[in-house]
């Protein structure tokens, strides 16, 4: 029995260690113990690597949705979402923002992302920059302009987020503001 376990382990580690199986919608990067993170990005398919010497890391390269909504559970810092953002308009009116940010990994820059940021892109990039940019862009319009300015706000947010995301290996595909709640004189008005 012990012999079967040892043989099974060796087959998995040695034979299986030669291959990287990249599923559709994903990419792989390789960390080489002698040269660091290699610049080559591997797309879907079966690829070779040196067992024990090289370690492969799979990344999801599909468009991901980072949602802002009530009741979002933030116990896992890498969850794809956040609580609604509470901010103020140019005229000082409180507003709560809910919506979605669509983003994806920039495949060409995945090795730099892995090397410089690591696996925690949500907590280190997406969440802080999204909160900051949404607050700053909402502050450029008055409470009366919110309803008609939604398409322009979404486009400005996409542009501003891309300024921050691109240098970090991410691409913002779009921003969708689903609910803007204005809090005025104790009353709540949905926009």
Nearest Cα residue to 37 out of 120, 125, 118, 126: 118
Q: How many helices (H) and strands (E) does the chain have?
A: 5, 11
The CA-atom distances, in angstroms, between 77 and each of 30, 119, 125, 140, 147 are 25, 12, 12, 29, 32
Per-residue pLDDT, 184: 74
Domain with CATH 3.30.479.30 in the chain: 64-190
| Largest Cα–Cα separation, the chain | 76
Per-residue pLDDT, 186: 59
Q: 111 is written with which tokens? A: 């090795």
Q: How far is the C-alpha of 35 from the C-alpha of 53, rounded, in Å? A: 10
Cβ atoms of 16 and 4 closer than 8 Å: no
Strand partners, 57: 29
Taking only the tens of pLDDT, the chain with its 191 residues reads 545 544 444 444 555 589 999 999 999 999 999 999 999 999 999 999 999 899 999 999 999 999 999 988 888 888 899 999 999 999 999 999 999 999 999 999 999 999 999 889 999 999 999 999 999 999 999 988 988 899 999 999 999 999 999 999 999 999 999 999 998 765 565 55
Q: Which phi-psi region, left, alpha or beta, contains residue 148 (left: φ > 0; alpha: ψ -120 to 50)?
A: alpha
Q: Domain 64-190, CATH 3.10.20.90 — does that match?
A: no
Report the half-sphere exposure of 64 (CA within 13 A, side-chain side): 19
Residues contacting 84, CB < 8 A, separation 6+: 68, 69, 70, 96, 97, 98, 179, 181
Per-residue pLDDT, 1: 52
């Amino acid at each position: 029995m012990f012999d079967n376990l040892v043989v099974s382990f060796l087959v998995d580690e040695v034979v299986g260690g030669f291959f990287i199986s990249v599923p559709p919608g994903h990419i792989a990067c390789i960390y080489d113990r002698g040269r660091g993170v290699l610049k080559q990005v591997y797309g879907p398919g079966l690829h070779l690597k040196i067992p024990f010497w090289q370690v492969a890391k799979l990344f999801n390269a599909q468009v991901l949705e980072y949602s802002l909504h009530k009741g979002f559970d933030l116990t896992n810092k890498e969850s794809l979402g956040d609580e609604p953002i509470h901010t103020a308009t140019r005229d000082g009116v409180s507003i709560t923002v809910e919506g979605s940010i669509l983003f994806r990994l920039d495949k060409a820059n995945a090795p730099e992302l892995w090397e410089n940021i690591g696996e925690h892109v949500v907590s280190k990039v997406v969440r802080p920059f999204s909160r900051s940019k949404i607050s700053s862009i909402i502050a450029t319009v008055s409470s009366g302009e919110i309803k008609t300015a939604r398409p322009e706000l979404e486009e400005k947010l996409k542009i501003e987020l891309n300024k921050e995301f691109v240098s970090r290996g991410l691409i913002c595909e779009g921003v969708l503001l689903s609910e803007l709640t204005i809090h005025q004189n104790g009353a709540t008005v949905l926009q």
